[in-house]
Structure 1
Amino acid sequence: MQEDILIKNLKETTTQEVAFQELVSTYKERLYWHIRKIVLNHDDTDDVLQNTFIKVYQNIQSFKGDSAIYTWLYRIATNESLSFLKKKAKEQQTTSEALQSYLVENLKADVYFDGDEIQLKLQQAIATLPEKQRLVFNMKYYEELKYEDISAILDTSVGGLKASYHLAVKKIEAFLKDENE
């Protein structure tokens, strides 16, 4: 279904349910992996994904169409993921950095994580990055999003994103080099 027709159908009460099912089936896998890269845990990802779609459903009338629907979805998913992590860190009375380290360490026990030792090391390196660099790296490296799309999702300049990505890559390379020495 074309995006403009989908949006029109999402805003129309008589076609909203079917259009929303179409939206979910089109984007749920991409959003799952986007969220998973942020929260790292399968069960948490499912919860955040569900909350994301609830927010989308509740706020579809306010979608203006200034950006593509998927960038709007990604923005909501990103914000939901970050809010979830902040809440989880607060509940566990720890810092966001400590929570990230804990989540990476628990990847080995996650039956849904099928990465090898190298993938685990990469996740450890990514966990050491500041939040914005972590987000930019994941979106650019794993999801292969264009800087313009990441800019719309994170509401940041393309130049700033390129700098963040470059710094993230340098820090990851340094981390991996130190691990191998």
Structure 2
Amino acid sequence: MNAGKLKETHSLDQEEVLHELMDQYADELSYLAYSYVKNIETAKDLVQNTFVSAYTHLDSFEGNSNMKTWLYRITINKCKDYLKSSAYKRLVLTGAVKENADTGANPAQRFEQKEQATAIRQILEKLPVKYREVIIMMYYQDLTTKEIAEVLKIPEASVRTRLRRAKDKLTPLLQKEALGYE
């Protein structure tokens, strides 16, 4: 009986940790997932799956990295698995992959910001994944090079190299956009 109460208390602690993680990282992970799958609803589903995986494997988290990088790694793996799945390939082949519209309050006040964000997102999408992901993690999720290295399981020097190369590729694209060329 005492062991049952101990297990129940442990389960409640895990649930509290999960809720804290969801509150803290859901938006960041959703943006990360969106950068891979280009669909808001799919990204949200993948983030939910990330939290389910994190919850079921919380006991096995060894603390070799921080919780944030662990969640990023799970999310990236979920996204890559989804993109390899036959369900996704069928969607692409049938042309059913569409970007969902963002429904925000006061769209007239945010029109220019949305236009700029869309333009930047379109430019980022032109980058290869290995460059796009480091830019997003560095500038949108505020991860350090060390954290990015942990998430991607690559050396920090490789992260810095990818960032430099990504910036080199982005600069002419951003300049072209600013000048209004297509």
TM-score interval, smaller chain = 0.7 to 0.9
Q: Which moved more, 1:109-118 or 1:20-29?
A: 109-118
Alignment pair present for 1:110 and 2:66 = no
Aligned to 2:74: 76
Alignment pair present for 1:165 and 2:138 = no
Normalised TM-score (structure 1): 0.76
1:151 Cα deviation after fit = 0.5
Aligned to 1:92: 91
The total of aligned residue pairs comes to: 163
Bigger radius of gyration among the two: 2
Residues 122 and 172, structure 1, Cα contact 8 Å, conserved in 2: no
1:85 counterpart letter in structure 2? L
Match of 1:23 among 5, 21, 24: 21
Residues 75 and 154, structure 1, Cα contact 8 Å, conserved in 2: yes
1:177 Cα deviation after fit = 3.2
Unpaired runs of at least 5, structure 2: 1-6, 105-109
2:156 counterpart letter in structure 1? V
1:135 Cα deviation after fit = 0.5
RMSD: 2.8
Aligned to 1:5: none
2:37 counterpart letter in structure 1? V
Identity of aligned residues (%): 28
Unpaired runs of at least 5, structure 1: 1-8
Alignment partner of 2:57: what SS? helix
Normalised TM-score (structure 2): 0.75
Alignment partner of 1:12: what SS? helix
Listed as ranges, the matches of 1:1-181 within 5 Å are 12-13=10-11, 15-87=13-85, 89-93=88-92, 106-107=98-99, 110-112=101-103, 115-179=113-177, 180-181=180-181
Rounded to whole Å, the distance in 1 between the matches of 2:139 and 2:15 is 34
Rounded to whole Å, the distance in 1 between the matches of 2:139 and 2:173 is 17
Alignment partner of 2:127: what SS? coil
Rounded to whole Å, the distance in 1 between the matches of 2:168 and 2:115 is 20
